[in-house]
Structure 1
């Protein structure tokens, strides 16, 4: 299986998908789209990472484009206004940097540094404008991206986003403790934690500024809307687990569906991989069914009034964006240097990370 990547070189090259990770239904039934703003997006996010000191200049020059962070977002929120997509892409790049900082704090036993960062992120989330010049680049970069995301919709949406991300921070803290203690969560516990660490509801919240309309609770919480949203995120999280399993085993991780299945369900590694694939394939099938129900729901919202037409159109846009997530996530995992563990000098240490505790120099 091959794809022509949009992005990391001036001359696109075919990217091979290993048979163990290939999903023909994605390649055949989920066409890949890319926001036309993508070339500017890549350049501006690279510049933002440099200005905010989120990655060293040499690592940005060598690795940023190849990590394909902007490709992932440009393949997802394909209908977003340019400024919305730019804010989302910068926030997403920050998220990856934060994830790496969290990992390095665990690996190097920096519990006090992590506790300090956790507290600062909670505070910055509630008052981002007061943290734009924080001495820790991870805090300042977060504040900058949040200020921009908060500018698109209402204070109600902002409060929901904050509530959801406070939960993400706390889930990262649970991961920190689990890894420090070598605790592998059971399958059910892991799946619940994964919905938070993968930030399912954050990426779902961001569908709304991308569509240009904040959805009322009655629409957003309706099962016809919520189910395809959840399925699109579950696919992404589980496919990430499938692709990152070798990297996470090499790095002594404890958070991966495969690791939980081996540890708690008595499966061999091969059986666990097969179980994850089965879950992923069922998720895709269920999404296609839920997508149809969501489209019918959108049709029902369009009741002939101006508001009904607006809501119906926004829901259709959001559901179409959910569909984009499948192809964008799929190809990201085969194009991004983040998962090319076999090419690293040390399989447990990504070459693009900074091992320093950046905020404590």
Structure 2
């Protein structure tokens, strides 16, 4: 079926989904949309990657659009003001580049380079202004994207975002050490770590500037809101594991739910894939229930006052975009060149990455 049956984009394309990765419920019950700003978003993020020297010019020219990073964000944060969506998309593109640097530092066994980067990112997160011209483009680009995100909300949101991302950096460090040692985490350990390496709460935080309002703790921590948010992110992380399993096996990865199931639950690879699909489909079913509960909770926030009505509308916007995350993630995995392992010359080396790292050439 068309990837964009109700598209806001002028182009509509049919995408072939491999049967092993097909989820008919997503294609039928989660209509895909794209933010109308997307064409400019794609162009501007491409220019930002060049300006910040986050990817070489030849790789930006050949791969940036095909990686579909802006498509992913444009399908998620619908209703966001253009400048908010642009900042999120640039930050997301940075995140993918950082993930690639992390991977290459593992593959080429560069612990000193990784430790240096880890410390710099922690520092830049707390003082982005002083890192805008850092010698490492990855640090400078991070400072730029964080500073732009900080401009949309107040100090409490900024502090929460920083707290959440400090935890993400440390989770990446745990993954780095596991991979260097070839240590496959247990299923329970992996599921806990995955919530951090996939940055569950970062993407959830960004729903708020997209909705134009910072949510109070009583809303964010309410079980109905939190469960819907968590399920939307769990789906994304586990579906990513399913789709990236061939790439990660080729690269001797140890961080994938399928790999943990094989190692620690003694499953065959086909059995692990079946279990992954079961968890993913259960997650979808549970979200459909949680979504209704979250929307009912949003209704209760409208107490007849103007602030109550505005808060109710903002929460509904966030919950609706949680739903959009399912279709955005699903189609991203079938359009992005990030997962086309069969087309790579070397299945363990993505063609869009560089093997060098700042300070260790």
Same fold, TM exceeding 0.5? yes
Once the two structures are TM-superposed, the CA of residue 11 in structure 1 deviates from its matched residue by 7.3
CA distance in 2, matches of 1:78, 1:207: 9
2:191 alignment counterpart: 191
CA–CA separation in structure 2 for the residues paired with 1:153 and 1:146: 12
Tell me the equivalent position of 1:336: 336
Match of 1:34 in 2: 34
SS of residue in 1 equivalent to 2:109: coil
Q: Which residue of 1 aligns with 2:75?
A: 75
Tell me the distance in 2 between the aligned counterparts of 1:211 and 1:185: 37
CA-to-partner distance for each residue in 1:112-170, whole Å, 9 max, x for gaps? 00000000000000000000000000000000000000000101000000000000000
User: Is the CA contact (8 Å cut-off) linking 1:4 and 1:15 kept in structure 2?
Assistant: no
Distance 2:319 2:2 in 1: 26
Pair 1:96–1:286, CA change in 2 (3 A): same
1:15 to partner: Cα distance: 1.9
Task: Write the distance in 2 (CA, Å) between the matches of 1:326 and 1:89.
Answer: 17
Question: Where does residue 280 of structure 2 map in the other structure?
Answer: 280
Query: CA–CA distance in 1 between the matches of 2:170 and 2:5?
Result: 35
Output the TM-score relative to the length of structure 1.
0.97
Distance in 2 between residues matched to 1:75 and 1:165, nearest whole Å: 23
Aligned to 1:87: 87
For the 8 Å contact 2:4–2:31, the answer to whether it is kept is no
> 1:60 maps to which residue?
60
Question: Matched residues in 2 for 1:355 and 1:208: separation?
Answer: 36
Q: Which residue matches 1:256?
A: 256
Q: Does 1:324 align with 2:324?
A: yes
TM-score, normalized by length of structure 2? 0.97
Q: Secondary structure at the match of 1:20?
A: helix
Contact 1:6/1:12 (<8 A) preserved: no
Residue 254 of structure 1 and its aligned partner are, at CA, apart by 0.1
> 2:98 matched to which residue of 1?
98
Taking the aligned partners of 1:22 and 1:358, their CA distance within structure 2 comes to 39
Unaligned runs of 5+ in 2: none
Distance 2:294 2:50 in 1: 41
Q: Contact conserved, 1:34 with 1:78, CA < 8 A, in 2?
A: yes
Does structure 2 retain, via aligned residues, the 8 Å contact 1:135–1:359? Answer: no
- For the 8 Å contact 1:54–1:94, the answer to whether it is kept is yes
Question: Which of structure 1's runs of 4+ aligned residues deviate more than 6 A?
Answer: none
Partner SS, residue 31 of structure 1: coil
